[in-house]
Chain A
Amino acid sequence: MTWRDYQLGSIVSRTAEAMTLWKTERGILQIGEGTLAVPIMSRDQREGFIFHGHGKLILDTIVETESGAVGKPTERELNEPFLMIGDAEKTREKLSGVGPKDLEKMGYKDQKEFIERARAFFDRFLRAEDCKCLGLGKYHGIVFAFVHDGNGLDVLAVKGTRFVYIASEIVFVSNGDKVVLTSPGEVVCSDHGKLLVVKKACRY
């Protein structure tokens, strides 16, 4: 199965209540009530959704070490369309039918307009190099992709408590007690509190 097997569905839904799409000790992704959702289908099966509404992503992209904490939390408002692949059936249960008012709230005339926008975003996701390297089939986690200021996408891949966040400024990998944070000019690796920092022009 490749990304080409993925297509957008034609039925738009809305979240009946605020939902937490993902939560661990280090991160949380929530969307508000009335968020629009269009399914991503693969061989007649729902694999994910493209959402557009009001939500929030919070990640504690901080490396805690014996020498002190490095990094700062990531907080972003999700007011643009974003994508989620995985955990589709659980999410579907919490969706309900959409009305014209729901579409209007998000600035759409009708379902078609929202689907068009979602399709444009999905095409962008399929073209993104970072996303192509995400394995399909063997991967049983959830992938989120968000628009960032430029042309690129920020990607969050999660599986249980482990996650990888690839954004324009930082890359954060959290695998239990092993954490890697790369930010401009700095790479921080922590393994059970032991720290390795590689800095450009380090002045310590």
Chain B
Amino acid sequence: VEGFIFVVLHLIIIKYKIINNEFGKVRNELSEELKEEIKKLKEELANLKEQLRDMAEARQRRSRGLHIDVGGSVQDYVEDVMEGVAEGIHGELERSIFIGPGGVRILKGEPEREEHETEVSFPRVAEVMSALGQEHRLRILSELMTGGKYINDLQEKLPEITTSTLSSHLKVLEEAGLVVQEKVRGRYLITMPGRAAYRMARRIARFLERGSQE
């Protein structure tokens, strides 16, 4: 029995050694993998730091205008040029984009705005104001504010205006550029300037009303 127990114990010890050995191998492998991972992460971190440094430099360059170092590599030169072009496009878009009245508007650096506004000829202004200066025409614009309409729809909404008068009012509004007529379907639509003009007229009237009450 003792001999048997001795043999079994011996076998257990051998097995333990083998298992221990295996564990050691696995541990070493894991440790190697871990070291590799850490190395990769360090490299990625270095790359990211480099990119951040480049971005900071690019931002600095942008803030002081386009800088081209001709002494640098061709790639640097191309990058600088591209950056300058992108900056130009970006600037142009910022000056010229707006998304509908009531939506997003980007208006930047327009000191000459007043000068441009005076470029509009007085006869043109008078034409627009004249088109607005009639109650029936304002009513027509008001109806069109809710969407395009056929002349019959307008006639229904504005029974106090005869068909011929309605047509002539629409013609005046069209000539002033406040209304446009579809040629295929025949609907009348209020234009962007038409909408702006109608709103402006209402605002002025409200402003004057408030002033007279005070």
Contacts and interface: CB of A to CB of B under 8 A. Distances in A.
Do A and B interact with each other, yes or no? yes
Nearest to B195: A68
A186 to B, nearest CB: 10
Given A197-B100, A202-B97, A25 B190 contact: no
A70 B181 contact: no
A64 interface: yes
B96 A201 contact: yes
A68 B96 contact: no
A102 interface: no
B184 A67 contact: no
A8 B190 CA distance: 46
A87 B86 CA distance: 46
Interface residues of B, number: 31
B95 A194 contact: no
B101 interface: yes
Nearest to B198: A68
B146 to A, nearest CB: 11
A25 to B, nearest CB: 6
Nearest to B177: A72
Given A60-B182, A73-B180, A73-B183, A68 B98 contact: no
A18 interface: no
Interface string A50-82: 000000001110101111111111010000000
B181 A202 contact: no
Contact of A67 (B95, B107, B110, B192): B192
A203 B110 CA distance: 9
B193 A68 contact: yes
B196 interface: yes
Contacts of A62: 180, 182, 189
A129 to B, nearest CB: 25
Contact of B100 (A58, A65, A75): A65
Interface in B97-119: 97-103, 105, 107, 110, 113, 116-117
The 10 closest A-B CB pairs, nearest first, are: A68-B192, A69-B189, A68-B195, A73-B183, A67-B100, A195-B100, A60-B182, A202-B96, A58-B183, A69-B191
Given A62-B182, A66-B100, A195-B103, 15 more contacts: A59-B184, A64-B148, A65-B100, A66-B102, A67-B195, A68-B196, A69-B192, A71-B180, A197-B99, A198-B93, A200-B96, A202-B95, A203-B116, A204-B105, A204-B107
